[in-house]
Amino acid sequence: MPRLLTEGEIRERLAGLEGWTTDGRFITKKFTFGKFMEGIEFVNRVAKIAEEQEHHPDIHVRWTDVTLSIQTHSEGGVTEWDIGLAKEIERRALKLRARRAGKGRAPKRSGQ
């Protein structure tokens, strides 16, 4: 099993991942989409990544917002596995956003 990261180690590793935060037990990010179904499509992509890695985030959907919270449940906190999952989700999420922008979709909304 991977070892738990200290809060300082978590913050160092999140430095290159925009928008991700930590409370020491989880790493979390809220993604906002222009439409509800875009968020659901994103959730489906995250589910595929999670299955590939056999590592599953907590997912909360609220209209156009999708919040992911990740920890290594068996360890009760954040490990390198969680950072790796966040990086892969981020890489694929950015691809999805770039593709949406290229199709003339509405930009992401804020304040909802």
Q: What's the DSSP call for residue 96?
A: H
Fold category of 18-102 in CATH: Gyrase A; domain 2 (3.30.1360)
pTM of this structure: 0.84
Specify the pLDDT at position 97: 67
Specify the pLDDT at position 71: 98
Specify the pLDDT at position 110: 46
Q: Hey, how many other C-beta atoms are within 10 angstroms of the C-beta on 33?
A: 22
Q: What's the DSSP call for residue 4?
A: P
The alpha-carbon radius of gyration of the chain (Å, integer) is 14
Averaged pLDDT, 104-109:
48
Q: Where are the domains of the chain?
A: 18-102
Averaged pLDDT, 76-91:
96
Specify the pLDDT at position 22: 97
- Using alpha carbons, select from 22, 2, 1, 4 the residue that is nearest to residue 86: 22
Confidence band (pLDDT; 50, 70, 90) for 112? very low
